[in-house]
Chain A
């Protein structure tokens, strides 16, 4: 199955696997293993919840998949590339196809909401830049209740607002893969569902999504595949998720 990352086209394997983890472990100095021999695949266009208690290793797993940090052992493949062997230029291309929503949001504090989103779009490559207009960004901001915060500096936003901007930033890039680390954690209920609606809309359009969450209500209402983390190990459950 051919799959194009803007300038480069790669062939995903016969099962159309976009993310493949094999025996991935992660440990930090003087700390127990956060992840222990984790293996699973996510197909192109798939949706996966990552569930687990506090300190179960959800954020570490997501950071590894998002190319933010390497695993201590094991292999991670993204879009058919083994991340341990890619060149910097390929890594850059992979990152352009990602929409990562980190837990700490990572906005540039002295740029406005609009500029943060537009800057991220401009870095995603010419193809995305040409297709994402100002009105598209405005539409996203409207959908997340941020239209009146458009020119506010990122450092003046509340936690919930920052998270929504991070979601808007990821969606505006029209990524192939969205990795969201508890994007609803600091949201009021009214925004949780508008945010999930936007993510589901992107998923329906073909975007692969990995979502770490604590929110049982979301998992119960929008039934999808789950990866449940416990004691560093992962269990994949197809529809009903318990943790």
Chain B
């Protein structure tokens, strides 16, 4: 208890410095959390882009215009998560903007079946499914479109940049934490001699430095927790206004876990920095020559 009281010395001597340090730590934790979350979300975006295909299944001319039958047949083959769009003669013609061209094509199509009929499928397809579709008697040919690969590549690059930034900010945060902890440990230099002189064990000498740095980390973590929580709730409620919607996978459960994680990370980093900086002080201490 007395040691914990002693641990508050840095807050008594330099309260604003400690408070500002906590804010900076909190901001960096927030940035760290945001970047981590962003790169994590990008991973799922990249995987979605890499895996999503568009298939054009062309129907043989000999097959009658049986929209419902063909769509249902393909749906049963590919499963419920795939989008299926029928593009029969009338739908293809309707999609043409130029009326003249449409009329000419319609006129020609009555003589020979000129306009191809196809079904567009959007989703993830395995090679086996693709082979099964190709083997259907009504299917003439299948074309696959993968025009999102360049976008996926750009996102992969962005994800790597974010990861490098993440490591950089983590290093800055760790170094900053160590500096703060060193400063805090120096506040207790005289006390360490007194405690050592009164027979305090080494673990006791660690307490003031470790606890004071833990407090800075915990306060920073709490600051990050509050901002992260409020910010996430705002994005969840007003997600439609954000361009980031669709990239971020925000769920209330995830917001809760990540904000608590940020807080714990702050406290843990503070504790580790406190142990390291106190250790550097205690290591240099001469037990046989105490300056009282």
Shortest Cβ distance from B18 into chain A, in angstroms? Answer: 15
Given A68-B290, A91-B287, A123-B204, A108–B199 Cβ distance below 8 Å?
no
- Please tell me if B194 contacts chain A, counting CB pairs below 8 Å: yes
Query: Once A and B bind, how many residue pairs between them come within 8 Å at the CB atom?
Result: 60
Given A104-B292, A106-B292, A110-B9, A122–B197 Cβ distance below 8 Å?
no
Q: When the two chains form their complex, are residues B198 and A124 in contact, meaning their CB atoms are under 8 A apart?
A: yes
Contacts of B3 in A (CB 8 A): 119
Given A88-B287, A108-B6, A95–B198 Cβ distance below 8 Å?
yes
Q: When the two chains form their complex, are residues A95 and B292 in contact, meaning their CB atoms are under 8 A apart?
A: no
Name the residue among A100, A119, A120 with the largest chain B CB count within 10 angstroms: A119
Interfacial residues of chain A within 88-103, with CB under 8 A of chain B in the complex: 88, 91-93, 95-96, 98, 100, 102
Contacts of B190 in A (CB 8 A): 108
Q: When the two chains form their complex, are residues B6 and A123 in contact, meaning their CB atoms are under 8 A apart?
A: no
Kindly identify which residue among B5, B199, B204, B289 contacts A70, using a CB–CB cutoff of 8 Å: B289
Main secondary structure of the interface of B (DSSP, over half): helix
- Please tell me if A125 contacts chain B, counting CB pairs below 8 Å: yes
Q: When the two chains form their complex, are residues B198 and A102 in contact, meaning their CB atoms are under 8 A apart?
A: no
CA distance A130 to B290 in the complex (A): 27
Contacts of A83 in B (CB 8 A): 288
Shortest Cβ distance from B10 into chain A, in angstroms? Answer: 10
Q: Which residue of A lies closest to B288 (CB)?
A: A70
Given A110-B6, A111-B2, A123–B195 Cβ distance below 8 Å?
yes
Shortest Cβ distance from A187 into chain B, in angstroms? Answer: 20
Q: Which residue of B lies closest to A95 (CB)?
A: B199
- Please tell me if A237 contacts chain B, counting CB pairs below 8 Å: no
Shortest Cβ distance from B283 into chain A, in angstroms? Answer: 12
Contacts of B12 in A (CB 8 A): 110
Tier of interface size on chain A: 20 to 34
Q: When the two chains form their complex, are residues B201 and A102 in contact, meaning their CB atoms are under 8 A apart?
A: no
Shortest Cβ distance from B259 into chain A, in angstroms? Answer: 34
Q: Which residue of A lies closest to B200 (CB)?
A: A123
Q: When the two chains form their complex, are residues A68 and B6 in contact, meaning their CB atoms are under 8 A apart?
A: no
- Please tell me if A118 contacts chain B, counting CB pairs below 8 Å: yes
- Please tell me if B129 contacts chain A, counting CB pairs below 8 Å: no
Q: How many residues of B contact A (CB 8 A)?
A: 21
Contacts of B94 in A (CB 8 A): none
Q: When the two chains form their complex, are residues A108 and B191 in contact, meaning their CB atoms are under 8 A apart?
A: yes
CA distance A68 to B199 in the complex (A): 12
Kindly identify which residue among B2, B197, B288 contacts A119, using a CB–CB cutoff of 8 Å: B2
CA distance A68 to B289 in the complex (A): 5
Given A110-B9, A110-B12, A120–B288 Cβ distance below 8 Å?
no
Shortest Cβ distance from A129 into chain B, in angstroms? Answer: 12
CA distance A102 to B290 in the complex (A): 12
CA distance A123 to B201 in the complex (A): 8
Q: When the two chains form their complex, are residues A91 and B288 in contact, meaning their CB atoms are under 8 A apart?
A: yes
Contacts of A100 in B (CB 8 A): 197
Kindly identify which residue among B5, B198, B288, B290 contacts A123, using a CB–CB cutoff of 8 Å: B198
Q: Which residue of A lies closest to B199 (CB)?
A: A96
Q: When the two chains form their complex, are residues B289 and A115 in contact, meaning their CB atoms are under 8 A apart?
A: no
Q: When the two chains form their complex, are residues B199 and A115 in contact, meaning their CB atoms are under 8 A apart?
A: no
Shortest Cβ distance from A162 into chain B, in angstroms? Answer: 13
Q: Which 5 A-B pairs have the closest CB atoms?
A: A96-B199, A119-B2, A106-B292, A95-B199, A123-B198
Given A67-B288, A68-B292, A108-B190, 16 more contacts at CB 8 Å?
A68-B289, A68-B290, A70-B289, A91-B288, A92-B199, A93-B199, A95-B198, A96-B198, A98-B199, A108-B191, A110-B6, A110-B12, A119-B198, A120-B198, A123-B198, A123-B200
Question: Can you offer 22 A-B residue contacts whose CB atoms are under 8 A?
Answer: A67-B290, A68-B290, A69-B290, A88-B287, A91-B287, A92-B201, A93-B199, A95-B198, A95-B199, A96-B199, A98-B199, A104-B292, A110-B6, A115-B2, A115-B5, A118-B2, A119-B2, A123-B198, A123-B200, A123-B204, A124-B198, A173-B198
